[in-house]
Structure 1
Amino acid sequence: MKLKSLSLLLMLTLSSTSALAVTCPPNAGELPSWANSDRRSAITEFVTEITNPNSPNFVATKDRIAVFDNDGTLWSEQPMYYQLVFTLEQIKGLASKHPEWKTQTPFKWVLEDDVESLMKADHYALLELLQATHSGLTVEAFQQIVHSWVTKSKHQRFDRSYIDMTYQPMKEMLSYLKANGFTNYIVSGGGSDFMRAWTEQAYGIPAENVIGSSFGYDVVKVGADTVIVKNGELVSNNDKQEKVANIQRVIGKKPILAVGNSDGDHAMLQWSTSQNNPSMAMIVHHTDSDREWQYDRDSSIGRLDKALNESKQKDNWHLIDMKNDWCTVYGASSTSK
């Protein structure tokens, strides 16, 4: 299917911002975009308990670590991961400098809008596209390109910039946790340098608190200056068990709160709640086809199956029902800088 045809089909078959799926009374104070549900109560009760010095479940500020997946947890991820959308658009923008791409796969598929062939290809094809668009640049130059794209390019279904495809309830949760002494981290399969270009603006999470997939770096001398240039060597594919390993490697502490949306986060949720200290896991369940998308077990993107089963078996695992727990999905449009 052609990319333009796919986009048109999605726009025709999926409504955009229709009437709210749930009516929410205004909430005073924290988490105003959350309905008065068990999930909202789970967040506030957990935070109240672990921040109370007189509670047996008190956790010192230095140990209040919270980790969040990004794709499908803090911003949307349909109909394809947004870093992939960025990559495809970059390939088209660079095509004039690479006439050989017209006959070389996977570049040929991108230039011909052959999404079907691209989606059927193995992960090496995607890696080749990422290497072509994510390497050979200084980190600063790459992040300037990403920041411009994420703040100016528009999602075709919602006509919102990608930085505005972030979830308002989750941003409120991040702010609420920070106000109560938590240190928030993003632990995502997305690229570290891709996310670091905009996560502080979107979520208030600084670059040093972003853990993602990554390519290697070359330290290069340019005249009197030393610069870091991204190369095409895949160093870490930050997914599943690799998320746990990278949390230990970078943070060095087990989180007491972990939030994800798919089986790619399953190991992180299990590990974070496997401890004697108070802990909690939450899963964003995509149940709202009107205001966002509805998917779980059968989705090729953000598949939620095993973690969905486990969430129904553990008291300290909570399934966030997007349709019924969120009064709004996306907040007001931001002002691009």
Structure 2
Amino acid sequence: MRTINPVNHKKLIIDVLTMAGLTTEQAVTASTVMAYADQRGIDSHGMILLNTYVERIEKQIIKKKPSYTWELNKGVIALLDGDLGMGHYIGDIAMKKAIQLAKEHTIGLVFVKNTSHYGASGYYTELAAKEDMIGFSTTNTLPLMAPTGGAERVLGNNPISFSIPREAENPIILDIASSVVAAGKLMVAEQKKQEIPLDWALDIDGNPTTDPYAGFKGGGSLIPLGNHKGYGLSLIMDVLAGILTGAGYGKNVGHSDIGFVMMAINTSAVMDKNKYNTRLNDLTGMVKDSKKAKGTDNIYLPGEIEYLNQKTRLAQGIPVNKNLYTELEKLTAKLGLNMNDYFTVQQMDSSIV
């Protein structure tokens, strides 16, 4: 296992994406979102996807220089046509628009169509939390999940994220897939040549499998979170991100017609800030200080473990397993880059971490 320091991690992503033809602005935003994932231990949504993104740029599934347009901008609602732009870049624009609208109207709701995978949902909702707003985001994805009782991919493992701002503390961040695990976790397991738990995925015939290849790349399907509950959540998120945005939906979703929804709620416009903080602190205290089960030392709020991971990885570097390193080595060589330029110890500039 190798590690890469956070500065070089972002630089590697930026250099790879710009050498693949992406604009610098898109590459920088994508590197920030992917760093968010890798720093927090969400390895399924970080650098492991870099080769996939380059392939999509080469195939023009992701447009190198998109010209996004606002098709609707009315009151608290806006609709953005991403023009096949990099999902991270378009998603960042959309949430910042939702925040702007929420400052003006209490709530900002932005729909997005004609774009691609946007990475970790929690990045976008945290943008709202940093502005003392509650953030919400969902996106649909390619069909990866069978409905309860089915054996065919029909719905995406459409994620749901909320971020809740807290006074003088990191926000509460819920970021979950509507399947038991994200597809990226199967990619990580396959890369590490590890089996997966039997309740993560079905093979192509609808049988539970411990083989990550059979459950994802081999044509299998992810199992819904809580069975019918995850199936229902995925369906509703597809209505919001697919049907309502004008993007693809269900089995019609492709790599470049994914839809997003971004929402920001200005808490200060609804309730006095001190009152909000007092009530929230009371609630989180009830949770954190509640009676613990045997063997449990600490009760964590959603997102808390990821912040602890980030603290460790910023100090010790971001781990890169052997197979991922080999994949990145081939990718950088193809693009005329040298991996040795990134996997060396350099002084870290915290301003770009």
Shared topology, TM-score over 0.5? no
Q: Relative contact order: is structure 1 or structure 2 higher (C-alpha 8 Å, sep ≥ 6)? A: 1
TM value normalised by structure 2: 0.26
